[in-house]
Amino acid sequence: MNIALIAHDEKKEELLKFVNEYKGEFAKHQLFATGTTGLRVTELTGLSIHRFKSGPLGGDQEIGARIANQELDAVFFFRDPLTAQPHEPDVSALVRLGDVYNIPMATNIGSANILIKGIIRGDMQNA
The per-residue pLDDT for range 33-78, each reduced to its tens digit, is 999 999 999 999 999 999 999 888 888 899 999 999 999 999 999 9
| pLDDT score of 15 more than 70 | yes
124 falls in which pLDDT band (50, 70, 90)?
confident
Residue type, 97: L
What residues are paired with 2 via a beta bridge? 30
123 falls in which pLDDT band (50, 70, 90)?
confident
Strands, sheet with 74-78, edge to edge from the N-terminal-most edge strand: 49-51, 30-33, 2-7, 74-78, 105-106
Residue 34, annotated as binding a ligand: yes
Task: Specify the pTM.
Answer: 0.93
| pLDDT score of 93 more than 60 | yes
User: Which residues are known catalytic residues?
Assistant: 60
Residue 55, annotated as binding a ligand: yes
Domains observed in the chain: 2-121 (3.40.50.1380)
Residue 53, annotated as binding a ligand: no
Angstrom distances, CA of residue 52 to CA of 30, 58, 65, 121: 14, 8, 11, 29
12 falls in which pLDDT band (50, 70, 90)?
very high
